Amino acid sequence: MKILSVNAGSSSLKFTLIELPDEKVIISGTFEKIGLPDSFYTIKYNGNKDKKEVLLKDHTDAVKYLLDELINYKVINSYEDIDGVGHRLVHGGDKYTESVIIDDDVLSTVEKLVPLAPLHNPANLVGVRSFKEVLPNTPMVAVFDTAFHQTMDKEEYLYAVPYEWYERYGVRRYGFHGTSHRFICEKMHDMLGEHKKIINCHIGNGASICAIKNGKSIATSMGFTPIAGVIMGTRCGDIDVGLIPYVMSSTGKKFDEVMTDLNKKSGILGLTGVSSDMRDVEEGYNNRDPRCITAINMYAKRIVDYIVMYNALLEGADYITFTAGVGENSDVMRDLIIKRLNFMGVKLDPEKNSTRGLAALGVKIDEEANDCRGVERLITAEDSSIPCYIIPTNEELMIAKDTYDLINK
């Protein structure tokens, strides 16, 4: 079966066409700047990457163009060859604990949850409705970022605020990146043959840490929104909320402006003034730029804070895993994190951690991109108290598998 895995943003549409149950990626790509005069797409197929400018007035235009391109690339013969479409939906509230077939009730519920995810759910819904318009008879599945974390105990997800805020307005920790955390959980189960106690570090431009026990999330660093937790590319992570009214009164900025600053101008970007991209900041770190040094050390320290806390919660983790862009590709960041865990007996193997260590696995590295994706490996010493692994995430595959399973249920 050919399953499209889709992630729709406010002006973008990412897709991967996967053959299941073989789990073979056929073609993938991204449409960007949808609705703007300089919209374009990139498509990866057979090892080649094509880029083309094309005028796309809305997401429905993008969907039609996408499907026509799949025909042009001869990966499908007609629209009917698409057996299902899996959609990433950021927020499912506490209603959805697993992926579901999309019907009118699901759309209505997700619409009602827009106030909980005003930056993400509207865009996700636009993607769903655009595909339903073009493929009205094709099954659609919603895969929620929040679903995996609905197994947390109440003492983990409640905030110490007036209880009626939770009862009336749904104020609680929801957690995000659930699809990635679940993928790592299942991947480790496949590798080990059983569920273990895992601390998974999903570290990319967005980042979250998750404590996993018996195949279930028991705690996670993101909260009511994806701004909470560790320091991220442009998001501040955990802060004292009292600084918000202070900054408003000091600068004259409105609440929405301050929240934009905390979401889009903070984190690594805010600390360094250089970039939100860890590769750029690592370059500054290596050149002894004081702000980059401070930022990278803060970034590592906040992650370690959560690892130590979750190690106590789990009463001793069996494994620590690193995934996503920074987690998979930055040997510098993994080194800084694991060295701070030496007091727990966690010991890094520098050769295994380094991209140079991949040579022993027969892996050739693209030095320019430093792209190590797809390579699972142990990076700690034999006598490390907790083994640490790099496990590349694959949210697109997780979405496609859920779609396949529900269609064939």
pLDDT reported for residue 363: 43
pLDDT reported for residue 371: 44
**Residues 187 and 321: beta-carbon distance below 8 Å:** no
Catalytic residues: 145
The dihedrals phi and psi of 249, each to the nearest 5 degrees, come to: -70, -30
Give yes or no for residue 372 having a pLDDT over 90: no
Q: Residues with Cβ < 8 Å from 289, sequence gap 6 or more?
A: 272, 274
Which tokens belong to 183?
């993928």
Q: What is the pLDDT averaged over residues 111-128?
A: 85
pLDDT reported for residue 110: 92
pLDDT reported for residue 305: 98
pLDDT tens by residue, 339-361: 999 999 999 999 999 865 444 44
Q: What is the pLDDT averaged over residues 122-143?
A: 92
Select the CATH number that applies to the domain covering 2-144 from these four: 3.30.1320.10, 3.40.50.1000, 1.20.1560.10, 3.30.420.40. Answer: 3.30.420.40
Tell me the average pLDDT of the chain: 92
| Confidence bin at 266 (pLDDT 50/70/90) | very high
pLDDT reported for residue 374: 55
Residues 16 and 346: their CA atoms lie apart, in Å, by: 37
- pTM score, whole prediction: 0.91
Query: Architecture of domain 194-395 in CATH?
Result: 2-Layer Sandwich (3.30)
Q: Look at 14-23, 75-84, 113-122 and tell me which has the smallest mean pLDDT.
A: 113-122
Q: Return the SS3 of 227.
A: coil
Residues 115 and 301: their CA atoms lie apart, in Å, by: 32
Domains 2-144 and 194-395 share a fold: yes
Which tokens belong to 73?
């690339």
Give yes or no for residue 194 having a pLDDT over 90: yes
Strand-pair category, 388-390 with 319-323: parallel
**Residues 58 and 65: beta-carbon distance below 8 Å:** no
pLDDT reported for residue 21: 95
Angle at 260 between CA 177 and CA 172, to 5 degrees: 45
Q: List the chain domain ranges.
A: 2-144, 194-395
